Structure 1
């Protein structure tokens, strides 16, 4: 029987545990490298799950019951995730 893949939250908690352990600074070099590599692997897996969730949520229903396509406006870091994200935008 195949083991079940850990949830996003479980993987995130594991990554946080690795980061906390490494931040203590008293980890032998070999162990630190191994944990760092595991952290990178977890980070990539978490990013893939977030990307998948973003694609799933790419189509949302507005207040009128109409489907709206998610359009990422820009990678402008000054936006800080706020403002109009393209939902229900009348501009094409």
Structure 2
């Protein structure tokens, strides 16, 4: 399976938001979408935090831009 990306997750969040706003889902379906949305928000937030940390690492090298690998403990996998 392909690795989940920030962009794909954001697009799915927008889709879930539209589905919930249309108010055509039943209670159980709405709860499942909401739960999926929460997991996607957590994933996207984690990716944004990682990106910010990488930017901080790049900018903190005595004015010289140097990339260092940022080690992530990837808590959110595609199956979450």
Q: Shared fold by TM > 0.5? A: yes
What is the aligned partner in structure 2 of residue 77 from structure 1? none
| CA distance, structure 1, for counterparts of residue 28 and residue 38 of structure 2 | 16
RMSD of aligned residue pairs (Cα, Å): 1.9
* TM superposition score normalised by structure 2: 0.71
What is the aligned partner in structure 1 of residue 59 from structure 2? 60
Which stretches in structure 1 are left out of the alignment for 5+ residues?
Answer: 69-92
Bigger RCO of structures 1 and 2 (CA < 8 A, at least 6 apart): 2
- The equivalent position to 2:21 in structure 1, one of 20, 23, 29, is 23
- Runs of 4+ in structure 1 displaced over 3 angstroms? none
Which stretches in structure 2 are left out of the alignment for 5+ residues?
Answer: 66-80
What is the aligned partner in structure 2 of residue 76 from structure 1? none
| CA distance, structure 1, for counterparts of residue 9 and residue 3 of structure 2 | 9
Which structure: greater helix fraction?
2
Which structure has the bigger radius of gyration?
A: 1
| CA distance, structure 2, for counterparts of residue 67 and residue 54 of structure 1 | 17
| CA distance, structure 2, for counterparts of residue 67 and residue 20 of structure 1 | 44
